[in-house]
Structure 1
């Protein structure tokens, strides 16, 4: 066990003591921005990064609000004051889902249609989703990039920011997930599709929720035409790839996917190679459809 893993388990143990949750047999499920642990009794613990307590609290509030609004969503454990903060890290406690699979494109489209139809609540107060949040800082971490590539990426960010601002007055805003893709909606063997990962839930243009699947179809050929058409039909017939602003949002999303891999490149040579490949794609040096490795 690495020092970092041991430290996280120490934080989890202290949080469990404070919250009255057993953590002795915790099993690590995933270690990304957040560390997820499976605990006895059907509990999932989510350990956030330092300084993210406000975000964690919003996730808890969002889950409760969505459940009350009739949206099947990952549920928090009741009877515990959340988040439980240890050494600046928020720990939240969730109900473990039964066995499940990722949503089909049609199931994702149907969930997003229901979500986007909700009235924006007065409480909880939902933040405005900013597609550029943290993007410049993430691109700056790519020390292995050629200086010309880094400068080009920063110029791209500023160009896209201007294009996005110009689009905003013509867009209708609603409650959006903020990171909508098939892995963030899962389907139990019995029951409705369930919405996961509420980190980015907020208010913004519906197109930001629709663009990931659309880009999978147009730029990566990861989605068959019939599947994309099923997604569009389930959402209500709106195909955002025909919208004049589609390319702007698709490029912003692809730039975020690139920045995500840049964040892993300091400790992973495969991520270095992949990040360089993605930058070459964005620069037009590789023709679509692109092939990007999953990270």
Structure 2
């Protein structure tokens, strides 16, 4: 695979490069080989199940591991845009309707995975703020453990937002991306991100949110008794992500402090959080 003219697409948890021949190389963090292998497996299974999804290359053994970092290889998508709320709702409805496969080892999704470590290592915050976040994490875990038993389980994306479903300009058919967190869990964890965009950030209008609800099948997350628990858990994950960048990025450190102030109720909703 020629890499001389590689172009950086995104530098996040995963680093994406565009290569010749409409190939995208996705470099995962150290120690994430099993996650990378599951992404490829999920892509192929979802395609067979009729879900439009980003395609892993078939002619390369996947993943390729270099210095404990897995590299997976994908077919580059044509020009595209983020999905509308209604398009996202329709894709999630199709995904959640699939039978949980017995042959694939999808993990049970844990909304709190890695958060304690991220907070402990978040030296961009003073110790008192990290202690408060850890107390919040413990409270959310307890509330989640009480709210979730008995909810139906299905295959969920795990990080469902409009940017992880894109619509190619030519075909107009939404395509599911970023399969890092795919697993088995309650549908509510997939539905909460867009609901939070509506209730806590005013990023989408009431009309768009209700279009999302209709496209999904009529279930409104914001009316569920456990909504605030999952909403805060999602916001805590977004805060921990920026906190992880704060050790080397002063703008990220400032943003992490702002997000903590929001979570503590010191800033009224709707909130404005900068993207990182």
| TM-score normalised over the length of structure 1 | 0.92
Query: Which one of 238, 241, 245 corresponds to residue 264 of structure 1?
Result: 245
- Is 2:59 aligned against 1:59? no
Structure-1 separation of matches of 2:29 and 2:93: 32
Match of 1:136 in 2: 116
- Separation of aligned partners in 1, 2:162 and 2:14: 19
Partner of 2:170: 190
Q: Give the Å deviation of 1:35.
A: 1.2
The answer to whether the 8 A contact 2:124-2:243 is kept is no
Q: 3-state SS of the aligned residue for 1:186?
A: strand
1:68 to 48, 64, 71: 48
Does residue 1:273 correspond to 2:254, yes or no? yes
Deviations 1:25-48 (A, max 9, x none): 111111111111101111001111
Which of the numbers 130, 134, 152 marks the counterpart of 2:132? 152
Residue 34 (str. 1) matches residue 14 (str. 2): yes
Q: CA deviation at 1:249?
A: 0.2
The separation in 1 between residues aligned to 2:244 and 2:16, in whole angstroms, is 19
1:8 matched to which residue of 2? none
Paired position in structure 1 for 2:99: 119
Gaps in structure 2 of 5+ consecutive residues: none
- Encode CA deviations 1:168-187: one digit per residue, 9 max, x unaligned: 22311100000000000000
Q: Which has the larger radius of gyration?
A: 1
- How many residue pairs get aligned? The number is 275
Question: How does the TM-score come out when normalised to structure 2?
Answer: 0.98
Pick from 78, 94, 108: which aligns with 1:98?
A: 78
1:232-269: CA deviations, max 9, x gaps? 00000000100110000000000001001101111111
Give, in whole Å, the separation in 2 of the partners of 1:83 and 1:77.
11
What is residue 80 of structure 1 aligned with on the other side? 60
Q: Aligned residue for 1:5?
A: none
Whole-angstrom distance in 2 between the partners of 1:170 and 1:55: 27
1:237 match: secondary structure: coil
Flag as ranges the 4+ runs of structure 1 deviating above 2 A: none
1:208 to 189, 204, 229: 189
| Structure number with higher relative contact order (C-alpha < 8 Å, ≥ 6 residues apart) | 2
- Is contact 2:82-2:167 (8 Å) kept? yes
Deviations 1:94-119 (A, max 9, x none): 00000000000000000000000000
1:89 shift after superposition: 1.4
CA distance in structure 2 between the partners assigned to 1:86 and 1:148 by the alignment: 39
Partner Cα distance (2:142, 2:109) in 1: 16
Whole-angstrom distance in 2 between the partners of 1:274 and 1:84 = 35
